[in-house]
Chains A and B, each alone.
Chain A
Amino acid sequence: MLLVFAITAGVIFASGVYLMMRRSMVRLIIGLLLVSYSVNLILFSVDDSGTRGAPIINSAEVEVMSDPLPQALILTAIVISFGVLAFTLALGYRATQVAGTDNIDTLQSTDREI
């Protein structure tokens, strides 16, 4: 089970990185999205996959209780990445307006001598 998680997270991460290497703004943002998803998956796999009981006293045996902390971490991470991505989308949209193109390679004016 852990192996499946590891491979899936790895493939998603790699896809995200590949998309980020492309020149298109939209692909860059989707790449960031995929990478943050894969991190959520990694956090999820921190918990032992054999324990799926609710972590509430008297509702399940202690041995099968799942660890609530990774789930709390994922929830927080999802909310944060949602907010950040909304901002990134707005920024990307504005960048395509200002530069008149979707091509990231043209956004070099801040690195050049003026």
Chain B
Amino acid sequence: MQILIILPLLIPLLTGCTALIRFREMRQLAALIGLFLNMLVCLLLLLETQVNGILVVQAGAVRAPFGISLVVDSLTAVMLSISGIIGFAVGIFSVTIVDANHQRFAFYPLIGFLMMGINFAFVTGDLFTLYVAFEVMLMASFVLLAVGGERGQIEGGLKYVTLNLISSTIFLIAAGLTYAVVGTLNMAQLAARMAEQPSPGIGTVLAGLFLIAFGIKAAIFPLFFWLPASYHTPPIAVTALFGGVLTKVGIYAMLRVLMMIFPQEIMFLQPLILTLAAFTMIIGVLGAVAQTEFRRLLSFHIVSQIGYLLMAIGLFTRDSMTGAIFFMVHVILAKTALFFISGMAYELGGTYKLKKLGGLSKRAPGLALLFLFAAFSLAGFPPFSGFWGKLLLIRAGLEAGQYVIVAIALGVSLLTLYSMLKIWNEVFWKAAPKHDADEMPERKRLSPLMMAPAAALVALIIAVGVLAEPVFKLSESAAVGIVEPAAYMQAVLAPWTGE
């Protein structure tokens, strides 16, 4: 089953190559098939890791620490599956909502390349290849963000590009210095060697550099300003994909690199990380409360949710890691669903401004119900997925004795609920503003191709909430893989060292 590991890279690459097809409809169909197959392969990989354990491929059959290893363990498989699902949902959603003007410029092929970069970042077991994967992902996202060339897109794009390039630069410096200190770039060998020799000082510097590099990508507190400045500018399907998955790739990189390779340094940096987490949560949610534009409000919520994940990283226990992975699955689903819903509200109301929207609970009761479920899940109501994610995180925080951060997390939850209620009141509950009634051109109807992906994601949210046990088991096995990386090292290195 070795070929299975390569397929999450090959299929999106072929999806990207559909740019060569000349006719738009055929291109679209081919790309959708590609995204569907990608999702299927990722889910198969998840099944495979649960049955057979960690899967490893050495690229070109070069021995482990010298070549490039592709590794799929539980965490990787979970991330692959969830991003595969989101990729396909966004593909379907884009069919009708992204106008022909945007689709003409290789919209679907770019999504293919973006998915390739994301999958590559998850699959790789090599620090430098992770950098290359980030660049592939960023390049595709740069173009997706800027295509269309409206003023807002160009401005947002410039900020996004500049800050992400700085982040890549810091990542590259950190990777180079890690090689200078430890003498390898293979993550399994890095983890083994860092565990053998407790290195004071220099290890902390490296961990700090990685924290900054991944922190910019994940949008943590003092480094998040590019996100609300750029995420609301591209077409809504692109925003949904970015908002759902891209920042979480940064969190995944933190889990994989910081947690697995520098566990001692994390303990040293714990107060700093927890402080940053608290600020990320608070500033993010306060920013969201202050916004009056649908997409910008949701963009600030991305930042706030990243704070919860950072808190789990800061606590650094097995339970908090389990909570982090569960929460990540939940937040990717909920966030993408909410962005989908904002896009459909725009289709109906013709604007993203909360003041000018209104009356959608009468016009589109199905949409209102979807929003209610997704918003309750984000705020952490039972029986939705967000409740379990937050419960696990809060419990891990209480067990670790970090009462301040727990109190902050709970307070932020309340504010999250408040800002969601604000959207509900403005967009769905209140009557449609009078002065707009005569300007509104015609009563648009929502295409089933828009409703279906959003409904599917909300169904998944409910399913994760109701059937929390299997997802919890999965998160736990992924968390164990990070906290106790012995199995990971064994799988990557053992066939070559002879034991």
Interface residues of A (CB under 8 A from B): 20, 28, 32, 35-36, 39, 42-43, 46, 69-70, 73, 76-77, 80, 83-84, 87-88, 91-92, 94-95, 98-99, 104, 107-111, 113-114
Contact = CB atoms under 8 A, between A and B. Distances in A.
A94 B149 contact: yes
A76 B128 contact: yes
Given A32-B165, A80-B135, A84-B139, A109 B128 contact: no
A69 B230 contact: no
B189 to A, nearest CB: 13
A77 B132 CA distance: 8
Given A42-B173, A70-B176, A92-B158, 20 more contacts: A28-B162, A32-B162, A32-B165, A32-B166, A43-B172, A46-B179, A46-B180, A73-B175, A73-B176, A77-B172, A87-B142, A88-B161, A91-B146, A91-B158, A91-B161, A95-B154, A104-B158, A109-B151, A110-B229, A111-B228
Given A20-B162, A98-B149, A110-B232, A39 B169 contact: yes
Given A99-B151, A110-B229, A113-B292, A87 B139 contact: yes
Contact of A110 (B128, B138, B165, B233): B233
Contacts of A20: 162
Shortest beta-carbon contacts, A-B, top 8: A46-B180, A43-B176, A107-B155, A110-B156, A98-B151, A95-B154, A80-B135, A110-B155
A88 B233 contact: no
Contact of A95 (B132, B138, B158, B292): B158
A111 B233 CA distance: 11
Interface in B136-182: 138-139, 142-143, 146, 149, 151-152, 154-159, 161-162, 165-166, 169, 172-173, 175-177, 179-180
Contacts of A77: 172
B3 to A, nearest CB: 26
Contacts of A76: 128, 132
Nearest to A92: B158
B347 interface: no
Contacts of B162: 20, 28, 32, 88
A35 B149 contact: no
B135 A84 contact: yes
A113 B293 CA distance: 8
Contacts of B63: none
A98 B179 contact: no
A contact face: mostly helix, strand, loop, or mixed:
helix
A9 to B, nearest CB: 9
A110 B152 contact: yes
B229 A114 contact: no
A35 B165 CA distance: 10
A91 B154 contact: yes
11 contacts: A46-B176, A46-B179, A46-B180, A69-B185, A84-B142, A88-B161, A91-B158, A95-B154, A95-B158, A98-B154, A111-B229
Interface string B373-385: 0000000000000
Contacts of B179: 46, 69-70, 73
A42 B176 contact: yes
A35 B172 CA distance: 11
How big is chain B's contact interface, by range? 35 or more
B353 interface: yes
A36 B165 CA distance: 9
B115 to A, nearest CB: 19
Contacts of A87: 139, 142-143, 161
A8 B161 CA distance: 26
Nearest to B145: A91
A81 to B, nearest CB: 8
A93 to B, nearest CB: 10
Contact of B158 (A70, A73, A107, A111): A107
Contact of B128 (A32, A35, A73): A73
B202 to A, nearest CB: 14
A60 B23 CA distance: 57
Contacts of B132: 76, 80
Given A91-B158, A98-B149, A98-B151, A35 B232 contact: no
B155 A35 contact: no
B128 A99 contact: no
B248 to A, nearest CB: 22
Contacts of B185: 69
Contact of B169 (A36, A107, A110): A36
A46 B293 CA distance: 48
A114 B293 contact: yes
A91 B152 CA distance: 12
Contacts of B154: 91, 94-95, 98-99
Contacts of B230: 110
A65 to B, nearest CB: 15
Contact of A39 (B152, B158, B173, B180): B173
A114 B128 CA distance: 42
